Amino acid sequence: MAFAACLFLVHGQDWNDNNNKSNNNDGNRNYSNIQEKDEKGGVVLNEPMIFGVSQGTTATHALYEATCNLNMTTAHYFLVCMEGNSREDLTVAQNEAVKFHFEALDAYIDLKVCVRDDLFDASTCPINRVMQDMRSMRVAMDGLVKSGGVNAVHDSPYTLMSSRIIRAIERSRPFVEPILVLSERDPLVWAQKRGIDHASAILCRFFFGPEMDEYLHFMSLHCTPKNYSNNNKHHLHNYFDAFDLNCCVSFALHSNRSPKRARDIFTNYELLYHQAQGDVHKENQIIERNLIAFENYQSMYKQHNYLYYHVDLFAADSKMSTRDIAHDIYQDVIHSTNVTKKLDSQDSWIAPLNKKSTVDALHKMGFVDLTTTKSKSLPSNNIYNDPPLLKSVLSEYVINSVIDNYHSSLKPIEGLNKK
């Protein structure tokens, strides 16, 4: 397969976006406040969107609670926070966003189970199923971003396609910037804990295998996010996103590698440690690769020009509650006076016109600092707890599929050596 063709298959929009259009007849919300039409008749969103680019195991749940505390409708894995008890209480856009989020999550967990089974069986996850799950994730996540129905997203599967999510936000909201927020963690501690706490997490096998140098070169040419602070342009070649599933598939299809199954593209910590067979040197190599992947990802986004807020909740002196984080985000990002002062006083901030319009738009959206009011946080709905709101919005099939796939991802594999 030609290289250009393989990139189109993985990164291109090989689906019909017409199916993702919503009815703008919404009695609960004035769509004219958040949408306009561009010169080609496409929908343009005026409200900024927050993207939590933090990888899992970095307190992403705390950031989720913080944005919920700001009255931002937010999605995070099994959770969505928004007001209402049924689909009738939500806007058209919110109904769409909830559906898209759990469709993306369902496809991701299905892929995780598929990869895990294939790694130990090699007969259960053919390439057509891998590509279908990947495509379903992309369609659903693009749909969520375009819907305008949530103000923020965190964690997987979004952070496994971070560059794509940022591009989708840019395209749907051309007059405001994506707002990136990041929770940090010591890279070595993360590298040690991630493989133990999330053994079935999907990884690119090329990064953990002998093809690492070739894959790094490929990523530097084709997969590196382009929007950084101008101060750091000369460092771009040093950074990469080893967690990007789209890039991993593109590399697998490059140079006629012709992958036939999931195990030809992906691996997970479970298999890597199983193959190490207790060899301390091999286990340390896994941790070292994990460290390199995370350290690069975190450093890359700490220098991104769209990064508006970052925090290290694991620092020795950190005793921040989720309300403290929400207060910080409000003061540092939403309150336009404070941001304007930052733009005026910090030469290192590259401040295009969109940055000012972004914080101005946030200021007009009515988010509140709950530390100074009596307002309550948006209620959180967990699909695992069978909440009335999600039962009203989602089909029974999607709910059962998400939960069943999740249970399957936790089942022990017979004969597997555990760490």
Domain count of the fold of the chain = 1
Does residue 233 lie within any of the structural domains? yes
Tell me how far apart the alpha carbons of residues 70 and 47 are, in angstroms, rounded to a whole number.
15
For 259-292, the pLDDT digits (tens) are 999 999 999 999 999 999 999 999 999 999 999 9
Does residue 21 lie within any of the structural domains? no
What pLDDT, on the 0 to 100 scale, is given for residue 255?
Answer: 65
Q: Which amino acid, 113?
A: V
Does residue 65 lie within any of the structural domains? yes
Does residue 20 lie within any of the structural domains? no
Does residue 17 lie within any of the structural domains? no
Identify any residues that bridge with 52 across adjacent strands, giving them in sequence order. Answer: 154, 181
For 176-188, the pLDDT digits (tens) are 899 999 999 999 9
Does residue 102 lie within any of the structural domains? yes
Nearest to 200 by CA among 132, 277, 118: 118
Q: Provide the angle, in degrees to the nearest 10, between the axes of the packed helices 3-11 and 245-253.
A: 150
What pLDDT, on the 0 to 100 scale, is given for residue 369?
Answer: 65
Does residue 339 lie within any of the structural domains? yes
Secondary structure class of 20 (helix, strand, coil): helix
Question: What residues of the chain score a pLDDT lower than 50?
Answer: 1-34, 37-41, 229-236, 345-352, 418-419
Does residue 24 lie within any of the structural domains? no
Q: Which residue in the block uniquely carries the two structure tokens 């789209």?
A: 246
Contacts 24+ apart (CB under 8 A), 362-367: 362/48, 362/179, 362/333, 362/334, 362/336, 363/334, 363/335, 363/336, 365/47, 365/48, 365/151, 366/71, 367/70, 367/71, 367/72, 367/330, 367/334
If DSSP states are collapsed to H, E and C, what string results for 96-118? HHHHHHHHHHHHHHHHHHHHHHH
Domain limits at 335? 3-10+35-410
CA–CA–CA angle 246, 185, 311 (5° rounding)? 100
